Amino acid sequence: MGILPILSILYALFAMNMATDAVTPAQPNTLELSKKIDITLNDALAKSEDIASDNLVEKQEEEVADALGDDEDDEDAAADTPEPAGFDVEVTDALAEDDTAEVDELQGEDSEALDGDEDVAAENEETPADAPAPAELEEALSKANTSADSKGSIEKRVVGGSVSSWSLWRWQVSLQYKSGCGYRHTCGGFLVKRNWVMTAAHCVDSRRVYRVVAGERDLNRKNSREQYLGVYRIYRHPSWNKRVANGNDIALLRLRSYATVNRYVQLAVLPPANQVLRHGYGSCYVSGWGRTSTRGRISNLLRHARLPIVSYGTCRNRYWWGTTVKSTMVCAGGNGRQAGCFGDSGGPLNCHVGGKWVIHGITSFVSSRGCNVVRKPTVFTRVSAHMCWIRSLIGA
């Protein structure tokens, strides 16, 4: 073999070896680059998660601060203005324009006097029949809560409470105003005598025609238990004005006829003058057909929710209602879960005291930020603060 073929073979072998050496290092470099890319992506994801986590923590801290009702600045304080818990948005039709008389005028077209007087012996003012004690109510609430939890309807259960049975709140009435050919629910109320109903002053207007429905449970269904009673005259507290925070949010409605007291309709028991329940008293329940959430709809069924009493001193704290609350009011709730809501106005705060149900409050207002805001309990007119005025109208 000549020298040239040998040199050609050697050159070819050398070239192959060089080609091999040129390819081999590229593989680990590619893997290293891939690893670097993976590490960079992981770092970016980690940083993104850290940022998201920080944002979430900041958001939660802001929500907690907001929930605690930190209203030190003017903007937050302005957001906590009282909002009457009646006159639901769905039922605020324009008021009639042809009647501008005073509030205590006669209702409707017929201005004839009632047959007889409120002192009629046939009034038969029975004491409300025994109703379930708080322990039984708690059991019913627990069952209702469990059912609601399983369906995920927490907000509806918490704000609107539980559906009330026929044995509860038999003094409760639905206050309705004439709208077209029918009537619409606007507020609650309760029978204090067979021909007298108590409600909130902001619930009534002399330019509307009203009726009350006793024995009502389902607004969408009529039944033989219901009694329809026209309103004859409206009496608002003489010191009432349209700013509910000024207090005196109480009105008495004299009816055209007498309610029949039976197993479905009873009279409310009122407290002694100036009686005040202690802070944390837990046997009080708000009842009504109000919204089941701040932006929800009126409930067709009568519902109730447990609202422990909040003392005047606590409720007047600047982190609660501050100076908005007056000594003639009652605060109840404020845990951010259970509360009265729009449409519940005028209804009773039913408290189990001394073995019987006593009406200690008339639902008046909630926070404009929502019905169930932490440290913004539902505010009621304290009935015991107005007993002299009440007795001057309806008697002993």
Is 345 among the residues known to form the active site? Answer: yes
- 234 and 251 in contact (C-beta within 8 Å)? yes
Is 34 among the residues known to form the active site? Answer: no
Catalytic pick among 185, 202, 304, 386: 202
C-alpha span between 52 and 49 (Å, rounded): 5
Is 386 among the residues known to form the active site? Answer: no
- 333 and 377 in contact (C-beta within 8 Å)? yes
Catalytic pick among 293, 299, 345, 367: 345
Catalytic pick among 185, 249, 352, 364: 249
Give catalytic residue positions: 202, 249, 345
